[in-house]
């Protein structure tokens, strides 16, 4: 097998698909734009959902990229050999262009001729078929034609060979590729978790949409969505024991050793602590250092970040990691990754400052919280740790629930999570309760209601520029089916008159019922046309510019209403401070809710 470095693997992958007519597109932000249903980008396909559903992508219908991803659903598993909360996903997409046979041929070519994986080491799975979709015989035949022996092609049911992000959305049967680490080993198929088969790549033949009621509709087009985990593939290619033994972690690992004198691998406990710190600090580095970077807080993404940092601090105690170490470890990642993700170098100081602040804050309360925890457990009768006490540890000492759960487990107790939630709900505003729900990930909401609110956001930004100042621009946007939320730079509260005037201008544009038109052009042409938006050429050569009569011209990826007249009546329901120099508006469309 080809012992590649991370950068060589990224390059080899992108160049291979470029040679097959794919356009290389940059990684999107880890914080999804205009998508309230999910906190983080969880897969390469995630930023591409509108295009999988049929919108035209400015870079064409064959794309490839390396996407930064965060998945925190398995956070408890971090510490083992393969789980990570941040990872990079290599991917290639056909948006209504080639389909399964071509995708499989290229996957086979890449695995055997570019990564030099011997065919005897490969095994694949294909969809066995059910009432929703037929048995995937053509993928089976294609693998056979490539040279995979029949006894290494396994038909598996929907549970294993069907891919969907969340509960609803674009989906389809997939074919998964595995390395057979022990061809003479125990007779089993790749769904077995005995470690014989390691998954390396997934090709999804995305042709359905799963609806709320559980039924499937056919998509407008048949897509291919593939994903290969970079760290896992490096681990396999280099024959190392775990993802933490790949070169991506060398310097950070050495740093932890320098700071603690405890050696990775010395005991299971030390290794687990190392892995949790290595993983969580890397994820925190990417989240704070993102182009849409976040900081620790008590809601949504910020709370996930807080939990990651605090968990790293807690495990740091087990190996005597001194306070101030997280930023030192983050520095290793900034140095390691900046050549590919230059946002990390740009935001380096912010990353160190935020980590230091959060680490200090939690270190102050951690010791007292642990004292309190230890006191409580001496009084508990039975094996249940009271939910109310878990909430008190959160409220007074900043212990995220999973830290209390872990501590409880280590001491033979189980936390009454329902009791914790009840106590939490009694104390917290409704808005923050949602973050626990969204923690698991999901899929972009692309309903008509959000498309209408998205369209209204364009009109509102144009109106804000007119009423307040041409220098006002978008600093954040979040849309649910019920409302839009828009952050913009402005250094004082808006007056009632200004709010009324913005509403009036937006409603005037709605009344004019002009069509929402879209044109593709280069960034330079877009600038010259007077379009507003982010000119970072995010999608490669061309961008989409949406125009609504004389009212608005803006670079955007969609989706949108067809005419402004579809929007209903626009109303601002709140105008408030979001952070220093940033205001936040919440607004709704009346008479046209979903």
Q: Which residues bind to ligand SER, rule: CB under 6 A? A: 43-45, 91, 163, 202, 204, 225-227
Output the smallest distance, CB 189 to ligand SER, in A.
19
Output the smallest distance, CB 62 to ligand SER, in A.
15
Residue sitting closest to ligand SER (CB): 227
Q: Which CB, 163 or 413, lies closer to ligand SER? A: 163
Which positions ≥6 away from 347 have C-beta within 8 Å? Answer: 288, 289, 290, 293
Tokens read off for 490? 């402005």
Output the smallest distance, CB 143 to ligand SER, in A.
17
Three-state SS across 91-144? EEEECCCCCHHHHHHHHHHHHHHHCCCCHHHEEEEEECCCCCCCCCHHHHHHHH
Output the smallest distance, CB 223 to ligand SER, in A.
11
The answer to whether 388 and 426 have CB atoms below 8 angstroms apart is no
Output the smallest distance, CB 163 to ligand SER, in A.
5
Q: Which CB, 160 or 537, lies closer to ligand SER? A: 160
Q: Which CB, 163 or 249, lies closer to ligand SER? A: 163
Strands 484-489 and 516-522: unpaired
Sheet holding 516-522, edge to edge: 516-522, 542-548, 552-555
Q: Is 278 helix (H, G, I), strand (E, B) or coil?
A: helix
Output the smallest distance, CB 409 to ligand SER, in A.
30
Output the smallest distance, CB 202 to ligand SER, in A.
4
Q: Which CB, 179 or 555, lies closer to ligand SER? A: 179
Tokens read off for 47? 């930023």
Output the smallest distance, CB 569 to ligand SER, in A.
39
Q: Which CB, 42 or 260, lies closer to ligand SER? A: 42
Measured CA to CA, the distance from residue 471 to residue 367 in angstroms comes to: 47
Output the smallest distance, CB 225 to ligand SER, in A.
5
Output the smallest distance, CB 151 to ligand SER, in A.
25
Measured CA to CA, the distance from residue 441 to residue 419 in angstroms comes to: 24
Three-state SS across 426-463? HHCCHHHHHHHHHCCCCCCCCCHHHHHHHHHHHHHHHH
Strand locations in 460-580 (E): 474-479, 484-489, 516-522, 542-548, 552-555, 569-579
Q: Which CB, 49 or 401, lies closer to ligand SER? A: 49
Place of tokens 């100042």: 469
| Inter-helix orientation angle 268-288/300-318, to 10° | 150
Q: Which CB, 12 or 421, lies closer to ligand SER? A: 12
Distances (CA, A) of 442 to 169, 220, 352: 9, 22, 30
Q: Which CB, 229 or 568, lies closer to ligand SER? A: 229
Q: How far apart are the first and last CA of the chain?
A: 53
Q: Which CB, 154 or 352, lies closer to ligand SER? A: 154
Output the smallest distance, CB 110 to ligand SER, in A.
14
The b/e string for 395-430 (b: 16+ C-beta within 10 A; e otherwise) is eebbbbbebbbbbbeeeebebbeebbbebbeeebee
Measured CA to CA, the distance from residue 238 to residue 2 in angstroms comes to: 7
Q: Which CB, 47 or 400, lies closer to ligand SER? A: 47
Q: Is 322 helix (H, G, I), strand (E, B) or coil?
A: coil
Q: Which CB, 42 or 547, lies closer to ligand SER? A: 42
Q: Which CB, 226 or 474, lies closer to ligand SER? A: 226
Which positions ≥6 away from 253 have C-beta within 8 Å? Answer: 244, 264, 274, 278
Output the smallest distance, CB 96 to ligand SER, in A.
17
The answer to whether 592 and 567 have CB atoms below 8 angstroms apart is yes
Q: Which CB, 204 or 305, lies closer to ligand SER? A: 204
Output the smallest distance, CB 206 to ligand SER, in A.
8
Longest dimension (CA), the chain: 77
């Amino acid at each position: 097998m080809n012992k590649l470095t991370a950068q060589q693997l990224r390059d080899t992958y992108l160049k291979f698909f470029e040679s097959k007519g794919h356009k290389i597109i940059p990684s999107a932000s880890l914080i999804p734009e205009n998508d309230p249903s999910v906190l983080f980008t969880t897969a390469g396909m995630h930023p591409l959902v509108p295009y999988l559903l049929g919108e035209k992508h400015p870079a064409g219908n064959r794309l490839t990229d390396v996407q930064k991803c965060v998945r925190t659903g398995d956070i408890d598993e971090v510490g083992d050999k393969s789980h990570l909360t941040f990872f990079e996903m290599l991917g290639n997409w056909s948006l209504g262009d080639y389909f399964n046979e071509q995708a499989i041929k290229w996957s086979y070519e890449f695995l055997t001729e570019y990564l030099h994986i011997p065919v005897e080491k490969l095994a694949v799975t294909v969809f066995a078929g059910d009432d929703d979709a037929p048995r995937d015989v053509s993928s089976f035949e294609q693998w056979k034609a490539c040279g995979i022996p029949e006894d290494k092609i396994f038909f598996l049911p929907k549970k294993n060979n069907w891919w969907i992000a969340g509960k609803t959305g674009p989906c389809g049967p997939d074919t998964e590729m595995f390395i057979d680490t022990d061809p003479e080993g125990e007779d089993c198929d790749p769904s077995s978790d005995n470690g014989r088969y390691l998954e390396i790549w997934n090709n999804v033949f995305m042709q359905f949409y799963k609806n709320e009621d559980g039924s499937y509709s056919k998509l407008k087009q048949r897509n291919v969505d593939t994903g290969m985990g970079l760290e896992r593939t490096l681990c396999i290619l280099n024959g190392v024991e775990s993802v933490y033994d790949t070169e991506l972690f060398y310097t950070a690992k050495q740093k932890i050793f320098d700071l603690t004198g405890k050696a990775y691998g010395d005991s299971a406990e030390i290794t687990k602590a190392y892995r949790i710190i290595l993983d969580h600090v890397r994820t925190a580095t990417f989240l704070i250092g993102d182009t849409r970077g976040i900081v620790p807080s008590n809601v949504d993404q910020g709370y996930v970040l807080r939990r990651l940092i605090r968990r790293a601090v807690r495990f740091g105690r087990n190996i005597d990691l001194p306070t101030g170490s997280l930023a030192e470890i983050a520095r290793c990642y900034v140095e390691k990754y900046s050549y590919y993700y230059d946002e990390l170098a740009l935001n380096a100081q912010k990353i160190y400052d935020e980590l230091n602040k959060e680490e200090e804050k939690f270190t102050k309360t951690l010791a007292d919280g642990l004292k309190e925890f230890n006191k409580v457990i001496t009084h508990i009768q039975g094996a249940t740790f009271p939910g109310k006490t878990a909430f008190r540890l959160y409220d007074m000492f900043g212990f995220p629930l999973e830290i209390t759960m872990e501590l409880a487990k280590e001491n033979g107790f189980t936390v009454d999570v329902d009791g914790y939630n009840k106590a939490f709900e009694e104390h917290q505003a409704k808005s923050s309760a949602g973050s626990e729900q969204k923690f698991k990930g999901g899929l972009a909401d692309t309903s008509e209601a959000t498309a209408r609110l998205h369209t209204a956001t364009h009109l509102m930004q144009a109106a804000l520029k007119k009423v307040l100042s041409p220098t006002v621009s978008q600093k954040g946007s979040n849309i649910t089916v019920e409302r839009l939320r828009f952050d913009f730079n402005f250094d004082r509260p808006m007056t009632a008159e200004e709010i009324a005037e913005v509403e009036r201008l937006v409603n005037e544009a709605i009344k004019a019922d002009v069509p929402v038109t879209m044109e593709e052009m280069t960034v330079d042409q877009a600038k010259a046309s007077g379009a507003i938006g982010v000119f970072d050429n995010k999608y490669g050569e061309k961008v989409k510019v949406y125009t609504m009569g004389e009212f608005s011209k803006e670079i955007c990826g969609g989706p949108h209403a067809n005419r402004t007249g579809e929007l209903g009546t626009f109303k601002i329901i709140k105008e408030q401070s979001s952070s220093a120099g940033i205001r936040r508006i919440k607004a709704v469309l009346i008479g046209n809710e979903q």
